[in-house]
Amino acid sequence: MDSGGPSAGPDMSGEEDIDLYELLGIDKDASQDQIKKAYRKAALLHHPDKVPEDRREESEAKFKAVSQAYEILKDEDKRHLYDTHGMAAFDPSRGGPGGPGGVEVDLNDILSQMFGMGMGGPGGPGGGPRRPRRGPDEDQPYKVTLEELYKGKTVKFSANKQVVCGTCKGSGAKANVKPQQCEKCRGAGMAEAFRQVGPGLVRKETVICDRCEGSGNFYKEKDRCKKCKGKRTTSETKVLEIYIPRGSQNGERIVLEGEADQFPDQTPGDIVFHLAEEPHDNFTRIGNDLSAELNVTLAEALGGFSRTVLTHLDGRGIHIERPRGQILRPGDILKVPGEGMPHKRGEAKGDLYLIVNVEFPEDGWLKDDKEYDALNKLLPPPPPPIEAEEVDEVEYEEVDSLDSMGANSSDPRFGGGEWEDEDEDDGQPQCQPQ
């Protein structure tokens, strides 16, 4: 309904929070582009002009709901307020930015029309118990080695977290003490503040009240809970455990549901670990496949070999047999089926690709003339000499790369200077056509 009507908004004291992300069918970490696409899809689906007359009233309610959800989530400041405080942040009666310049649609009323899910307490519209607001998730990177991803791992660790004070049950006060309304925020839990955004520029924004720490209530020091000292939560150390399944991928999420910090009147969020795969000295992973360098001597490249060539991620040796006469050249690739990363589901594995690197002997290794002659007899003969009318014997030097190639060119495309036109005016008098 329109907030300009006679109803100024629902009673938020017994409000059940609305999940705007669920309303648009997106995740809490959705990007602005994903939010916009979800809104366009939902708005088109529920547009009143697109449905029969008998469904128009319901469609209008749904259309207003998704429109308000989009108005909040597309604005990063409003989105932050919603993520932190829920829809209470937009209720003018509690100091939120609703009303002029704020969010004007009464989502409680709209969703009551849509689903019959009134948000008042017992006796209020729709009745039913209040659903606590969900606290924020905690995102943490977790470094893992390729060996751990190959074999899987269970990790136990101690974590400090905030829990609702067991003595005062989250009120922050001693027993039988009535709270006083916070004078700064007038019980809203949020207050207006000015933040400098540039030289001579300030912006007014809504922040958590620093006097009551968002509770809306204030207690004198003598009335505060002795255990939490009025903060409503205490610190607790808890042993947590995560399981990393074998075959997990870089960037995957491991979720510990409900293990984030606790806050009064909220269900705790999740701790979300994002797996960060560390680079490996020997293996490179692409999907479920692995690649590694296979170093062979020149003798092995020419004459074959049978040996263990590397140690796999689980400690097993990988043995390769190369028949004599099958030459290995630098850059050749040998595929070993079923020796890549395990799939998360089932017993299948990816493949292992071995990239051949031929290790040549050091300079000066062959000094004996007899050995040189014997080697020449074993190796294929050189190509026939090139016949030319004129032959120049030149000197050469070894370089590490082709980076300097083209540097002496006059073509600027290859690192040289600008083109010079031989016919360009050199300052001498020119003949004039008659």
**Residue of 187, 297, 166, 299 whose CA lies nearest to 234:** 166
CATH number of 12-131: 1.10.287.110
Please report the pLDDT score of residue 412 as a whole number: 64
Measured distance CA(206)–CA(186) in Å, rounded: 14
Structure tokens at 232: 């409503």
Residue 293's contacts (CB-CB under 8 Å, 6 or more residues apart) are 282, 354, 355, 357
Contact between 107 and 18 (Cβ < 8 Å): yes
Which residues 6+ apart lie within 8 Å of 38 measured at CB?
Answer: 24, 25, 26, 30
Tokens at residue 70, please?
């989009």
All residues at 6 or more sequence positions from 390 whose CB lies less than 8 Å from its CB, including other chains: none
For the ranges 57-71, 199-213, 275-289, which has the lowest average pLDDT? 199-213
* Between 407 and 119, residue with greater pLDDT: 407
Residue 192: its pLDDT value, please? 77
Instruction: Please return the burial class of 90, using the count of CB atoms within 10 Å of its CB with bins 0-12, 13-18 and 19+.
Output: buried
Fold of 138-179+219-277: HSP40/DNAj peptide-binding domain (2.60.260)
3-class SS shares of the chain: helix, strand, coil, % to 5? 25, 25, 50
Please check whether the two domains, 12-131 and 138-179+219-277, share a CATH topology: no
| Beta sheet of 283-286, edge-to-edge order | 283-286, 289-297, 352-359, 333-336
Tens digits of per-residue pLDDT, 136-182?
Answer: 889 999 999 999 999 999 999 899 999 999 999 888 889 888 888 88
Beta bridge partners of 160: 237
SS3 (DSSP) at 271: strand
> What is the Cα–Cα distance from 96 to 186, expressed in whole angstroms?
11
Domain extents in the chain: 12-131, 138-179+219-277, 283-359
Confidence at 377, pLDDT banded by 50, 70, 90:
confident
Asked if 96 contacts 206 with a C-beta cutoff of 8 angstroms, the reply is yes
Alpha helices for 211-338 (secondary structure H): 298-303
Element holding 354 (H helix, E strand): strand 352-359
Q: Are 271 and 140 in contact (CB under 8 A)?
A: yes
**Dihedral angle of Cα 373, 378, 380, 385, to the nearest 10 degrees:** 10
- Fold of the CATH domain 283-359: HSP40/DNAj peptide-binding domain (2.60.260)
Is 144 exposed, middle or buried (CB count within 10 Å of its CB: 0-12, 13-18, 19+)? buried
For residues 86 and 351, what is the distance between their CA atoms, to the nearest angstrom? 49
Summarize pLDDT for 86-134 with one digit per residue, the tens.
776 666 554 454 443 344 444 544 444 444 443 344 334 344 444 557 8
420 pLDDT tier (thresholds 50, 70, 90): low
Is residue 419 pLDDT above 60, yes or no? no
pTM of the model: 0.57
Residue where the block lists tokens 């209020």? 124
- DSSP bridge partners of 236: 161
Mean pLDDT of the chain: 79
Which has the closest alpha carbon to 172: 224, 100, 242, 117? 224
Is residue 203 within 8 Å of residue 197, measured between CB atoms?
yes
Give the integer Cα–Cα distance in Å for 212 and 231: 9
Higher pLDDT, 366 or 114: 366
Distance CA 326, CA 413 (A): 44
* Per-residue CA distances from 172 to 40, 84, 95, 311 (Å): 44, 20, 22, 59
Residue 197 has pLDDT above 90, yes or no: no
